[in-house]
Chains A and B, each alone.
Chain A
Amino acid sequence: MSPRVGVVTFPGSLDDRDAQRAIRLAGAEPVALWHGTTDLSEVDAVVLPGGFSYGDYLRAGAIARFAPIMTSIIDAANDGMPVFGICNGFQVLCESHLLPGALTRNDHLHFICRDQKLRIENTTSAFTSGFNTNQEIVIPLKNGEGSYIADERTLDELEATGRIIARYIDGNPNGSRRDIAGITNEAGNVVGLMPHPEHAVEAGFGPSLDGLTFFTSVLSRLVNA
């Protein structure tokens, strides 16, 4: 049986269906998870998709972080379950303190939507193990609050421990500290990424197929587990 990867739908999630499609194209079985449930017994990994959960009220991700399913996801993540937060999902992971730092409004104030070049710098995390070190990829970026921020000590630690999984190259689109596009936790099972790999998984749709590797990476980890 192929591994089952849950995709959480919060009120206001937008990219949950695209994430499910990416998981299917990667060869795993997507499982829709409603935010009101606490049961993760049917899944081997979880994706928190992009969108505007709870309308971004209070702060992006701040209300979703207290959804019933997040209690289970925080426990499971601390026990090693792979968890991938994309865009709004990354914001939820920071609000949950599963990842350090925070995402704030783009420094130029504009919502940005474009194809973005990234350099993959970590090839050991649950969602980046299929990449080559320093591989350059292009996937869509679309957000208003994508500027990653953390104190200097945290940024130094992320760099020193190889936990910056991807950096923006050819121009920083939002003022993110040290051009950070994505990070992972110490164990490498929790990954947050601001751009959208799930929109670059199928020929004819999106700028590349580069996004698929995030999903095949976790699949190979689950199959080999």
Chain B
Amino acid sequence: MARVAVDVMLKSEILDPQGKAVERAADRLGYSTIASVRQGKRFELQIDGPVDAAALASIHELAESLLANTVIEDFTVRVEDN
């Protein structure tokens, strides 16, 4: 079965408090070379049938309407396993 990953990240200009909290914790643990952390979401979709142009278009539609809020987030769609 085909697998498609949708990654959703807060836009760069939006404050990411969770990423900041992780960043501070990493620093406390001594990982001094980690300059910044951004936290996002990853959705893994199992797809019935081939991931063709129509399937990708419908995944984009889903990402735009439900998985991401494009006011504050960007998303990428990647076919992992076709």
Contact = CB atoms under 8 A, between A and B. Distances in A.
A59 interface: yes
B15 interface: yes
A175 B15 contact: yes
Contacts of B18: 105
A91 B21 CA distance: 24
A112 B15 CA distance: 18
A62 B17 contact: no
Contacts of A100: 71
A149 interface: yes
A101 B71 CA distance: 6
Contacts, number: 30
The size class of the interface chain A forms with chain B is: 10 to 19
The size class of the interface chain B forms with chain A is: 10 to 19
B68 to A, nearest CB: 9
B69 A95 contact: yes
Contacts of A39: none
A150 to B, nearest CB: 7
A220 interface: no
Interface string B63-82: 00011010110000000000
B14 interface: yes
Interface string B15-33: 1011001000000000000
A203 interface: no
Given A105-B15, A107-B17, 13 more contacts: A58-B66, A59-B69, A62-B69, A95-B69, A102-B69, A104-B15, A104-B72, A105-B18, A109-B21, A147-B15, A149-B71, A149-B72, A150-B71
Interface of A: 58-59, 62, 66, 94-95, 100-102, 104-107, 109, 147, 149-150, 175
